[in-house]
Amino acid sequence: METITAIKSRMSSFLAFVFSVFISFYSFAQDTAGGVVTTENTTTTTTEWYANPVYIIGGAIVLIIIIALIARSGKRD
């Protein structure tokens, strides 16, 4: 019975290892073109809003302010 438990333990460790290797290969195989997403027509070029760092920084500032207000309201007695 001890042998079966040892085999199951090693098999689950091996499957976890294989799964992690597969996921790492899959993640490295992704397209790395990235960058700013633009859509070009014949006359105009538009940039997606989430590619603009101003929106990301503004969102982070708003999030920090909201967290500070929530934390501060919990201290009132």
pLDDT at 41: 60
User: Which residue type does 47 have?
Assistant: T
Query: Is the predicted pLDDT of residue 16 greater than 70, yes or no?
Result: yes
**Average pLDDT over every residue of 8-18:** 85
Domain residue extents for the chain? 1-30, 34-77
DSSP β-bridge partners for residue 40 = 45
**Distance of alpha carbon 61 from alpha carbon 44, whole angstroms:** 31
- Stated pTM of the model: 0.37
d(CA 25, CA 32): 14
**For position 40, what pLDDT does the model report?**
64
For residue range 22-77, list pLDDT tens digits in order: 888 777 766 555 566 666 666 666 678 778 888 889 999 999 999 988 888 876 55
Contacts of 56 (CB under 8 A, 6+ apart): 50
End-to-end CA, the chain: 61
